[in-house]
Amino acid sequence: MVRTQIKTLLQESPRSQEVKVNGWVKTFRSNRFIALNDGSTLQNIQCVVDFEKFDDALLKQIATGAAIGVRGNLVESQGRGQAVEIQVTELTVHGSADPETYPIQPKKHSMEFLREQAHLRVRTNTFAAVMRVRSALAFAIHDYFQKNGFYYMHA
What pLDDT, on a 0 to 100 scale, did the predictor assign at position 50?
92
What pLDDT, on a 0 to 100 scale, did the predictor assign at position 3?
67
pLDDT at 31 over 90: no
Each residue's pLDDT tens digit, 34-51 = 999 998 888 999 999 998
User: pLDDT-based confidence at 1, cuts 50/70/90?
Assistant: low
What pLDDT, on a 0 to 100 scale, did the predictor assign at position 23?
94
Which one has a higher pLDDT value, 77 or 146? 146
Give Cα 65 distance to the centre of its chain: 10
Cα–Cα distance for residue pair 32/50, rounded to 1 Å: 6
How many degrees, rounded to 5, is the angle at CA 91 between CA 76 and CA 25?
75
The residue ranges of every structural domain in the chain are 1-99, 103-149
User: Which residues make beta-bridge pairs with 22?
Assistant: 69
pLDDT at 56 over 80: yes
Cα–Cα distance for residue pair 132/39, rounded to 1 Å: 10
Each residue's pLDDT tens digit, 68-80 = 999 999 998 887 7
3-state secondary structure of 154: coil
Percentage of residues of the chain with pLDDT beyond 70? 94
- CATH dotted code for 1-99: 2.40.50.140
CA neighbor of 84 nearest in space, from 41, 114, 53, 132: 41
Each residue's pLDDT tens digit, 95-133 = 988 878 776 667 777 777 767 777 777 777 788 888 889
